[in-house]
Amino acid sequence: MKEKELVVNTKTNGSKSEDVVISISLVKKLRDATGAAMTSCKQALQEAKGDIEEAIKVLRKTNLAQMSSKLQRKADEGIVALAVDNNKGAIIEIKFETDFVARNERLQKLATEAVQLALVHDNLTDLKNAKLSSGETLESQISQDIAVIGENIQVSRIRQVKLVGNGIIASYIHNSVARNLGQIAVLVALEGNVESDKLTKLGKNIAMHIAATNPRFLSSNEVPESVIMQEKEIFTAQARATGKPEKVIEKMIEGRVSKFLEETVLLEQAFVIDGKTKISEVLSNAAKELGSEIKITGFSCLKAGEVVE
C-alpha cells in the first residue's frame, strides 16, 4: 500500500507556486525527534517546505513563544530526584502544574539526567547551563519539555551532601514514582571505619527517620542563637498568658526550648522506630556493636512542593 502523502501548495515567486509533498513518515520522524504533537509537526513541515532541519527550527521558535506564556503559570506540584556517586549525593526538586505529570516518562527522564548533573554543579545557575548527554543544556531541554508536556516546569532547588572520611552516603525516597524519584528525598553522610555494607542498614533507617521527622539541624550547636531567641519570645508570650508566677513561667520556657530542640535537632530526636532512643544514642549503640565511632556529618531532606520560608 502506497504511503499516504500530504500535498502542500506553497507560493514561491509572486503568483507562481509549487507543490511540496510531505509524507506521513516525515511527520512521524519530526515528532520522534522533537516530541511535538503531530499537528504541530505537520504545520512546521509545511512552513519549512518539507525540510526537516528547518522544521525543527520552526518548532523551536514556536515553542519559545508558547513557553513564555506557560512560564507565567504557577508550578505548585513537583517531584524530587536523588543520585549518589561514591562520596557525594545530590537532590533536586522539579516543579510543575499538575500532579499527574510526575508519571510522565519524559519528565522522569529529565529529572534523572538533571540530578546526575547536580552531583557536579551545586547551584541552580550552573546546573541549568550544564550540558546533558544529548549536548543540550538543561535549560534548553526544559524549554523543549515545556512545549511537549504543556506545563510550566522548573528546577527549583538543589542540595548536595558530601562524605569526607570513610563511610557511606545513605539515601531514601518516599512515595516513589520511579527509581530515585518521589515526593521526599533524603541523603545522610554516615562516617565510620566500618565495612560499608554494615553501615547501609543503619544509614537507611536514619534516612527514613529524617523523612518522617524533617529535622532542621544536625546538632544543638548548629542552631543559630537568633532562632533560639525567636522561639523564646514566642514561648514567653504564651507562658505569660497563663497568668502563672514568674518562676513557673521560667520553668515553662526552659521546658519548651528543650522540646523545640528535641523536635528540630536530628541528634536530639527520638528514633521513630522505637519512639524513645535518641538518634545520638542510636549511633553510640551502633558504634559499640560495630567497633568503631560512627558519626552523621551531614544530611539533607527535600519534600516536593513544600513552601520554603
Q: Is the dihedral of CA 30, 36, 42, 47 positive or negative?
A: negative
Average pLDDT of the segment spanning 178-200: 93
Residues 57, 83: contact at Cβ < 8 Å?
no
pLDDT in tens, 257-300: 899 999 999 999 999 999 999 999 999 999 999 999 999 999 99
Higher pLDDT, 308 or 233: 233
Residues 215, 280: contact at Cβ < 8 Å?
no
pLDDT in tens, 23-63: 888 888 887 777 677 888 888 888 888 888 888 788 777 66
* Helical H segments across the chain, by residue range: 24-34, 38-47, 52-70, 105-118, 124-129, 138-149, 196-213, 225-240, 246-264, 279-290
What is the CATH superfamily name and number for domain 5-48+55-69?
Answer: Ubiquitin-associated (UBA) domain (1.10.8.10)
Residue length of the chain? 309
- Residues contacting residue 209 through CB under 8 Å, at least 6 positions apart: 269, 271, 272, 273, 279
Average pLDDT of the segment spanning 171-181: 96
The alpha carbons of the chain give a radius of gyration, in whole angstroms, of 27
Helix count (H) and strand count (E) of the chain? 10, 9
pTM over 0.85: no
Query: Where are the domains positioned within the chain?
Result: 5-48+55-69, 77-216+294-303
Buried-exposed string 269-306: b where 16+ CB fall within 10 A, e elsewhere: bbbeeeeeebbbebbeebeeebebebebebbbbbbbbe
CATH class of 77-216+294-303: alpha beta
